[in-house]
Structure 1
Amino acid sequence: MANINVVNLAGAKVGEFELVDEVFAAEINDGLLWESVKHYRAALRQGTAATKNRNQVSGAGKKLWKQKGTGRARVGSIRTPLWRGGGTVHGPKPRSYEYAFPQKKLMGALRSAISAKINDGKFTIVDSFEVAEAKTKLFRTALNKLEAGKTTLLVESSRKLDEKLYLGSRNLQGVELVLSSEVHPYDLLRYEHAVFSKDAIEALQDTLKKFVSKRSKATDERSKAAAQKEVA
């Protein structure tokens, strides 16, 4: 078990939070992170590209000239794909690029993303996001004191989210607010720094614990044993 400092919005330490090793001390899986980001971005695609086939383009269906006797190549319709302005064969049609992604893999990628942020020193836990007023200036000052960097992801639990936090942070450039139940590995990789409320990380840790497989636990235990052996 590792402890991480819990600070207030002024940057002063107010306590500690215990991180469960089976959740946050796992080996970072780059391949799983790549898969989760690919899935997320695929789901964002609009998929609206479309072309018209010969039944959809404009043009009369009348035969342009008689079949024989003109010396010209035979033609049946002005809408043929062989002609300029004709229909397109096998062109793109509106579709969804989204595909199924196992929840267990998503949770594994989320563990890796959080572990990477912790290892890089880009992870902060605050006791609360509560402020006196819904002022952008107050949150900008708080983030400066937390040394949060140019881009920051704020994560709050759904039961603690209030209007002051939403209104005070929405106009901050390079800052995004998400719920702990909706945070995605892509969010953590996209932003330089992550700031979680204590309630948010507690809720997320409880959720991630449920998806730690026995195989992952055994692998982590072997890795720790090997590391301790090397140190000894």
Structure 2
Amino acid sequence: MEVEILQEDGMSSGRTVALDPTVFGIEPNDHVLWLDVKRIQANKRQGTHKTRERSDVRGSRRKLYRQKGTGNARAGDAKSPIRRTGGRTHGARPRDYTQNLNKKTKRLARRSALSYRAASGNVRVIENFSMDVPSTRQLKDLLALLEVDGQKVLIVTDGVEQEIYRSAQNLQKVNVREAQSLSTVDVLDAEVLLIQEGALDVITDVLSTAQPA
């Protein structure tokens, strides 16, 4: 698949680039996509939730009243879960939600996500650009020239571009990621991928070497 390489003014540079079919043209695997998205979202969970159970509640362990002869239901101490001041039964405890997949599966998930976006014509390649100082207005004008303003845009950079990243902080629908750290969720969450020319080479080098699943 051939796509135009755009300039910063939104015009064509007169050059094209071929998208690697092993990265942008495979048959997407929906199950692998689901596995990788689930892994990424699970790994973001802190797992620090905690409720006070019977052993955590402050109070005496003395039996409230004798077992028999009172006419009441038998009762233990005040920390019993059936008491208002008691602990919670089977309460939440801190745990690790981390999941993992093998490298081959994670690469297939990213290639599937990229293929979905390429098939819908929402992959744009732009010449490498940088910003001298952070400027939300300048970045917004660039997106308008590229006719992608108002859409959820993911800008994929060749390397660390702090000025571009900071410029996008006030734009609700714009995210910036380095090509090396691009994830499946990043791709699926965006409507349009705006990939720098150098970043496209990085993505291709990282993902095209994966063996077919």
Give the alignment's Cα RMSD to 1 decimal.
1.9
**2:183 maps to which residue?**
184
Q: TM-score, normalised by structure 2?
A: 0.89
- Give the aligned length: 211
**1:223 aligns to what?**
none
1:159-198 aligned within 5 A: 161-198=160-197
State whether residues 9 and 143 of structure 1, in contact with CA within 8 Å, keep that contact through their aligned partners in structure 2: no
- The match for 2:125 is 125
The match for 1:228 is: none
In structure 2, list runs of 5 or more residues that go unmatched. Answer: none
Q: Render the CA deviation track for 1:120-146: whole Å, top value 9, x for unaligned.
A: 111111111224543211111111111
Quickly say closer, same or farther: Cα 1:152–1:48, change in 2 above 3 A. Answer: same
1:156 corresponds to: 157
Displacement, 1:176? 0.8
Matches within 5 A, 1:1-232: 2-14=1-13, 15-131=15-131, 133-149=133-149, 150-158=151-159, 161-213=160-212, 216=213
CA distance in 1, matches of 2:30, 2:148: 24
CA–CA distance in structure 2, aligned partners of residues 81 and 156 of structure 1:
55
Mapped to 2, the partners of 1:174 and 1:22 lie a distance apart of: 29
Deviation at 1:43, TM superposition (A): 1.6
Compare the two structures and name the one with the higher helix fraction: 1
What code does the residue aligned with 2:137 have?
K
Distance 1:21 1:82, change over 3 A: same
Q: Deviations over 1:78-117 (max 9, x none)?
A: 1122323222232221212221122211111111111111
Alpha carbons of 1:99 and 1:133: their partners in 2 closer, same or farther (altered >3 Å)? closer
Alpha-carbon distance between aligned partners in 1 of 2:199 and 2:135, rounded to the nearest angstrom: 22
For residues 36 and 7 of structure 1, what CA distance do their matches in structure 2 show?
A: 31
Structure 1 residue 69: Cα displacement: 4.3
CA distance in 1, matches of 2:141, 2:211: 38
Q: Deviations over 1:157-195 (max 9, x none)?
A: 22xx33332332222221111111111111111111110
Query: 2:54–2:81: 8 Å Cα contact kept in structure 1?
Result: yes
In the aligned structure 2, how far is the partner of 1:74 from the partner of 1:162? 68
Q: Identify if the C-alpha distance between structure 1 residues 72 and 136 changes in structure 2 by more than 3 Å, giving closer, same or farther.
A: closer
Distance 2:36 2:70 in 1: 62
Residue 3 (structure 1) shift: 2.1
1:27-47 deviations in Å (ceiling 9; x for gaps): 122222222212212222233
Whole-angstrom CA distance in 2 between matches of 1:54 and 1:131: 58
Assess, with a 3 A threshold, how the Cα gap between structure 1 residues 60 and 39 changes in structure 2: closer, same or farther. Answer: same
Deviation at 1:55, TM superposition (A): 1.1
Structure 1 unaligned regions, length at least 5? 217-232
Distance 1:68 1:205 in 2: 77
Matched residue type, 1:168: S
After the TM superposition, list the runs of 4 or more consecutive aligned residues in structure 1 that deviate by more than 4 angstroms.
none
User: In the alignment, is the contact (CA less than 8 A) between 2:113 and 2:188 conserved in 1?
Assistant: yes
